[in-house]
Chains A and B, each alone.
Chain A
Amino acid sequence: MYIYAFGSVCRGEIDRYSDVDLLAIVETQMDTLNFNKDDYSIYSESRIRELWDEGNPFAWHLSIESKLIFSSTGKDLIKNLGTPSKYKNCTSDCKKFQRLFEEAFLSLTNSCDSSIFDLSTVFLAIRNFATCYSLGIENRFNFSRDSALKLESHPLKIKSECYDILKRSRILSTRGKGENFTYEEIIGVKDCLLQIKKWFEKFKIN
């Protein structure tokens, strides 16, 4: 069993939204029962190896930004796995996250019943899209929570208040932390969605 810290804490990217991301790599399904899935991302060793072979962005993320905290074997599995394969699924991943945005956009347009969840999904879509695009097209590592703002080509430019609401909604819907939203905040951020839609359309993903 291996335990790693990864993400913002390893980048020194600390803000009021920061949390400590922990990864547990286990050998068997039974081992997963020892971990609280709210506190850990839990992967089997075989799945981690698959991610490396796929050149999955998460594998690149871990290879660049993770720190070993505990190893039951005395070895550092991630270090020993070396460099992940070249990232091959950039096009399909980017399209997937663009579709994810479109579904959230449609839901937000049609009803208010899941508006905060939908805003949270918008944030997930722009962040993951930007991370995949940076790795696959720009050949850059951009694993920041704010990866969309840090793209080389077409960084996302929306009002910071809107961006902050998207970010807050993501924290609220996953970690259950943060202030609840006012009606005005939700309406305000809906105005930025068209800008985000146009931002996605700037990228030529084939």
Chain B
Amino acid sequence: MSEFNNRISLQRTVIKITNSLGYRHQLVGISSKAIDRWVIDNKIDPKSKLVVKIKEISGQLFFLANKSQEQITESYRKLSNIVSHLVDELKEEVEKMLNEG
């Protein structure tokens, strides 16, 4: 799969995990503007662990956009590791929230 499609796929994963929480309004993207909109629509605490984690992932996923082609392969490898770690942390946080009801 291309790096571009991979990045979209990672965004989808984050969105599916987050939306499993069942908020009234779905998270529809992980640009910071889309996250802010979701936070406001659902009256979520912007400083909550959940929001901070999603914003962290967002920052990492958009980081590559401006990298030169030569750097992409290595950066993407590093980024994949960082993002998969962050996604695991997000999953844990979501599971915790679901268990707490």
Contacts and interface: CB of A to CB of B under 8 A. Distances in A.
A178 to B, nearest CB: 9
Contacts of A184: none
- Bin chain B's interface residue count: 20 to 34
A62 B2 CA distance: 23
Interface stretch (B45-53, B61-69, B79-87): B61-69
A80 interface: no
Interface string B23-54: 00111110111111110010000000000000
Contacts of A111: 16
B66 A42 contact: yes
Given A47-B67, A117-B15, A176-B37, A103 B29 contact: no
A172 B62 contact: no
Interface string A33-58: 00001100111101100100000000
A172 B28 contact: yes
Contact of A50 (B20, B65, B69): B69
Contacts of A144: none
A177 B33 CA distance: 8
Given A96-B5, A100-B5, A103-B5, A176 B15 contact: no
Contacts of B28: 116-117, 120, 169, 172-173
Q: Point out which of A38, A96, A114 has the most chain B C-beta atoms below 10 A from its C-beta.
A: A114
Interface of B: 1-2, 4-5, 8-9, 11-12, 15-16, 19-20, 25-29, 31-38, 41, 62, 65-69
Interface of A: 32, 37-38, 41-44, 46-47, 50, 96, 99-100, 103, 107, 111, 113-118, 120-121, 124, 169, 172-177, 180
- The 9 A-B residue pairs whose C-beta atoms are closest, nearest first, are A173-B29, A176-B37, A176-B33, A116-B28, A113-B16, A173-B28, A114-B15, A47-B68, A176-B34
18 contacts: A38-B31, A47-B66, A50-B68, A103-B9, A113-B15, A114-B19, A116-B28, A120-B28, A124-B8, A172-B28, A172-B29, A174-B29, A175-B31, A176-B33, A176-B35, A176-B36, A177-B37, A180-B41
